[in-house]
Amino acid sequence: MSLEQKLVDRSARLGVIGLGYVGLPLAIEFARAGFEVVGIDIDQSKVDMLGRGESYIKDVPAEHLAEAINSGKFRATTDFSALAEVDTIDICVPTPLSKTRDPDISYIDAAAEEICRYQQPGQLIVLESTTYPGTTEEVILPRLSANGAVAGKDFYLAFSPERVDPGNQDFNTKNIPKVVGGVTPECTRMAKLLYEQTLTTVVPVSSAAVAETVKLLENTFRSVNIGLVNEIAQLCQKMDIDVWEVIRAAATKPFGFMPFFPGPGLGGHCIPIDPFYLSWKARASGFEARFIELAGVVNGGMPAFVVDLVARALNDLGKSVRGSRILICGIAYKKNIDDVRESPALDILSLLEERGGELSWFDPWVDSLRDYEQVSRVEDLSPATLAEFDCAVIVTAHENVDYGVLVEHLPRIVDTRDALNGIKSDKIIRL
């Protein structure tokens, strides 16, 4: 039976490499659509949790996971030999930056090596990991073609950028439009057919390189605009103007303006990292992406700017950072999630620690900080707890948390998220 027939009647067996924020939700959606899915991850602890029906991704409800496991539609393993049994393979592995802020595609390389080891005729391979334009054709295609196999005939290869917004109640893996671009038209068609069986909208583009660039444009757009508004926020600080009021008023314009909001720095896997993939590829092509690089500089400097605001707040009390008791409110990179990847709170925490601050942190969504075990966690914002601190920094403002209590019980608060909007107090220093 052809791959096309297997996809249409959903008898195809699907594989997903990498069971993180992208891979696990995708695997479960495939399973819920009726496909038999095997998820592969090198982390044995994740595989063990999934085997017990325990979800470590908030966007994957335990009941959906249990349903997929109990129906026999999903299983997790660390054994890559399972790739020999599947008809399609989605690569959803991390793509971090190196210490020199160059792309690190070692996880893609490792996945491609395993795929080649177990490659079967007629398989569809889709790379979803964010990467620089050209990766699919320059890194994966030569390996799959090494034995003389022809893309679009003997196997199918495409890129489809992951689009994940953790904690978003309106948009999820199923209903976020899915862009796909193959290394040949037939590869594009086959990848489109795969996702059409599960997802609401699939958007084909002319090539894998176009699809790779789509993802980088989306997040570079956000990075550049956030960089602009972060610079405006610093300017407004100098001029004693409320930047949040300025943005709210500007957003009333019904055309030609889209509101972006300042913050303590960029967080999550995408926005702090993806623009550097694009600027790196630009340099490799002999082009200097100055706009992108400048946004990176502005956004990267925001944690230090926040620390300077903390020093200013404490100076108003006749105190220095060294020896002062400082509470970091919010460790996750955005509200209402437990994801701390690239969170600016961690940079702020480190910078304040370097200055000698006595630090604690509060976040109702985050259970622990693996690399900051020396920093104590507070469980609540009760008056008794707050009495211990000289200053608080609101880095992430979760919903249903009363940050107004800080104003009642602390001498100074640095508000980087407009969490205290509408509260007038000399105690507050706003971003």
Burial label for 183, CB within 10 Å (0-12, 13-18, 19+), is buried
Is 92 in the active site? no
Question: DSSP secondary-structure letter at 7?
Answer: H
What is the residue whose two structure tokens read 């008898």? Answer: 11
User: Amino acid identity, residue 170?
Assistant: D
d(C-alpha 39, C-alpha 156), whole Å: 20
> Nearest-5° angle of CA 397, CA 401, CA 407?
85
**Signed CA dihedral, 157, 171, 418, 259: sign only:** positive
CA 346 to chain CA centroid, nearest Å:
15
Sheet of 412-415: strand order equals 376-377, 358-362, 325-329, 391-394, 412-415, 428-430
- Tokens of residue 172, six digits: 């999820």
**Could you tell me how many residues make up the chain?**
431
Cα–Cα distance between 57 and 423 in angstroms, integer? Answer: 35
Strands (E), 138-246: 156-159, 178-182, 202-204
157: β partners: 125
According to DSSP, the β-strands at 412-415 and 428-430 are parallel
For 217, half-sphere exposure in the C-beta direction (CA atoms, 13 angstrom radius) is 8
CB 397 within 8 A of CB 335: yes
Q: Under the phi-then-psi rule, with left for phi > 0, alpha for psi from -120 to 50, and beta for the rest, what region is 156?
A: beta
Half-sphere exposure of 400 (CA within 13 A, CB side): 4
How far is Cα 170 from Cα 311, in angstroms, rounded to an integer?
Answer: 39
Residue 412's DSSP bridge partners are 391
Query: Rounded CA gap, 231 and 379, in Å?
Result: 34
Q: Token pair for residue 344?
A: 């600016």
- Which residue among the candidates 236, 270, 329, 391 is catalytic per the annotation? 270
Which residues are marked as active site? 270
